[in-house]
Each structure stands twice: as C-alpha cells, then as structure tokens.
Amino acid sequence: MLRVLPSYVEHLEKNTDKSYLAKLFGIFTISMAKFTPLSVIIMENTLPNIDHAELQFTFDMKGSQINREVLKSKTVRDLRTDRPTGGQVLKDFDFLRLKELKKFINFHNDDWSTIISNISQDVAYLQSQRFMDYSLLMAIRKVGDGGEEARDTTESNGHFDIQRTATHSKRQLDENYTKIMGKYSGYKK
C-alpha cells in the first residue's frame, strides 16, 4: 500500500477535480493487547449525503460478465412497476436492463466526453500500478429529491415532484465522509 502512495498523490495532483477515484484519507494500524494488529483504511464516501431512500438507483459496475446481476429473479414487468431500489447496490446487468426500461441515461455531449476522458485517465493510472477489480459506482437520483444542488434546476421546470427538504438523520451525518475498509486479522489467543 505504501508503495503506491507517491504515485497516487502525483496522479491526484495532476488530475485535481478530474479523478473519480474515491479519496484515501488515511491508513492506520491499531494494535491492542490480545489482538493482532488491525489495519484500517479510511476512504471517502462517494454517495451523496442524503437519505439512501431518496436515491433512485445505485450501481456498481465492472464490465465483467460473471455474477454481475442482483435482480436476476425480477421480470421486466417487476422492474417496470417496482419502487426504485435506492441504496441497494445493483450491478452491471441490472444496469443494462433498467437502462432500457427507465431511460435514465441521458448525458450532455460535453459531460460524456469529460467523463470518458477522466475515466480513461484514472484507469491508465490504475493499470500503471497493476490494480484491478475496481468498480464504477454510480448513484442516480431524481432532480428535486433531496440535496441543495438540485434546487436551482427545478425552478425552470414545473413538472417535478414536490420539493422535499433533505432530512439528515444523525447517523447519516456520522457516516457522511468515511467508509472504513478494514482488514481484520482475527483474535489472537
């Protein structure tokens, strides 16, 4: 891990505001009596800071084809009528199926070019460090569902859902920026 830090910093400096890599905040090793040392990496939580129920869909996509479906048992009709899955993390095939049904992919031309070029940069970096198995996490929500940024865009459009004020429970605020990924090496007798 420490081996890649210099190049990681360099990549982020070169691509400030462009990289989509979830930021690394810190690496710790916690040693306690009776436990083998526990290594913890703190990374940025990249999901929007709103109630997950207000998200329409969350997808984790890799581009591989095995075991990349969560809603396998659902028929097309189910998908059409079911409530949005919000915070439940769906995968590649679910995305492809829902995309056809819901037509939620509709990027601006410029955004498309930006995204593809930024992703290519990130991937080139990850390849240079021999990383693999990463995912693209995409959260999709409706304009007007929570979040201040959404507010401006609803002004000019009359037909959106009634605006709701985002409510943050304390728990979510606590979770806000960190997701702890730990490597737990077990209890030492």
Partner 1 sequence: MFISQDRKWIYQISVIDYLQTFDRGKKMEVLAKRVFKNVDPTRLSAVPSDPYGNRFVEFMKNSVFEKPLEA
- Counting contacts by CB under 8 A, is residue 5 touching partner 1? no
Helix (H, G, I), strand (E, B) or coil at 51: coil
Q: Which of residues 29, 73, 75, 109 is near partner 1 by CB under 8 A?
A: 109
Run of H or E residues at 25: strand 24-30
**Are 69 and 100 within 8 A, CB to CB?**
no
Binders in 137-166 for partner 1, by CB under 8 A: 137-143, 147, 149-150, 153, 157, 160
Token pair listed for 137: 């996490």
In angstroms, the CA 131 to CA 11 distance is 14
Q: What CA–CA distances, in Å, run from 161 to 21, 125, 145, 164? A: 32, 41, 8, 8
Q: Which of residues 13, 17, 111, 174 is near partner 1 by CB under 8 A?
A: 111
Question: Which one of 9-17, 71-79, 103-111, 167-175 is the stretch in contact with partner 1 (CB under 8 A)?
Answer: 103-111
Binders in 26-85 for partner 1, by CB under 8 A: 41, 43, 46-48, 56, 60-67
Phi-psi region of 164 (alpha: psi -120 to 50; beta: other; left: phi over 0): beta
- Counting contacts by CB under 8 A, is residue 22 touching partner 1? yes
**Residue ranges that bind partner 1, judged by CB under 8 A:** 1, 20-22, 41, 43, 46-48, 56, 60-67, 92, 95-96, 104-109, 111-112, 115-116, 119-120, 122-124, 126-127, 129-143, 147, 149-150, 153, 157, 160
